[in-house]
């Protein structure tokens, strides 16, 4: 596998399979050495991510003391990074009557197929606390037992659901 070690995104994408490789420590050490010096927030986060991977690679090779040192440094840098200011979001307006109708249709439809589904999360909170769906909740949280999931998947599109 060829990885451009000077491209932090490529190194991080390949990190999972690399961690199990015998040369993982060297790969992450080299990627860190090739990381250009920069004061940007993105570069700092990339350095932290690479240091975390390097620390984990050291850990997987039983270099515990070195691993702890690298991980402590990365966690310290992460903790002292300024939090990015989120971009302002436009308010989401949801038609709660349509959502409630879809929820009913889903729960009843699944029950008609012998499946047990229940509302959870924000849906359940809104129904219990306010007697309605929460106006800013833009999803419908529904759970069912794991052993019923495969049976529910082909039924959902017949009730108006689309894959995410």
Tens of pLDDT along 1-24? 567 777 777 776 776 677 777 788
- Is there a single domain that holds both residue 14 and residue 51? yes
Residue 131, domain member (yes or no): yes
Q: Which two tokens stand for residue 45?
A: 């986060």
Collapsing DSSP to helix, strand or coil, 159 comes out as: helix
Last residue of a domain, one of 52, 80, 108: 80
pLDDT at 18: 74
Tokens 């307006």, located at residue: 93
Question: In the numeric block, which tokens belong to residue 92?
Answer: 């989401």
Q: Looking at the structure, do residues 125 and 149 belong to the same domain, yes or no? A: yes
- Residue 22, domain extent: 8-80
Total domain count for the chain? 2
Tens of pLDDT, residue by residue over 95-111, are 889 999 999 999 999 99
Please give the pLDDT value at position 1: 59
Provide the token pair at 136.
């800013």
Specify if 1 maps to a domain: no
Rounded CA separation 79/91 (Å): 30
What is the sign of the dihedral through the CA atoms of 81, 83, 87 and 92?
A: positive
> Does 164 fall in a domain?
no
53 part of a folded domain: yes
Of 25, 45, 80, the domain-final residue: 80
Residue 89 lies in a domain: no
* Residues 50 and 13 both lie in one domain: yes
Residue 14 and residue 75 in one domain:
yes
């Amino acid at each position: 596998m060829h990885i451009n070690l000077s491209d932090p995104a490529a190194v991080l994408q390949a990190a999972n399979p690399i961690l199990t490789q015998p040369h993982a420590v060297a790969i992450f050490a080299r990627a860190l050495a090739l990381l250009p010096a920069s004061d940007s927030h993105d570069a700092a986060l990339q350095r932290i991510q690479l240091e975390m991977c390097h620390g984990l690679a050291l850990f997987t090779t039983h270099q515990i003391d070195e691993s702890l040192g690298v991980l402590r440094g990365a966690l310290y840098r992460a903790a002292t990074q300024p939090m990015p200011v989120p971009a302002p979001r436009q308010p989401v307006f949801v038609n709660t009557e349509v959502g409630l109708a879809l929820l009913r249709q889903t729960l009843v439809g699944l029950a008609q197929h012998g499946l047990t589904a229940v509302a959870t999360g924000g849906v359940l909170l809104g129904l219990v606390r306010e007697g309605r769906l929460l106006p800013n909740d833009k999803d419908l949280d529904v759970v069912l037992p794991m052993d019923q999931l495969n049976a529910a998947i082909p039924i959902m599109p017949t009730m108006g659901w689309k894959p995410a």
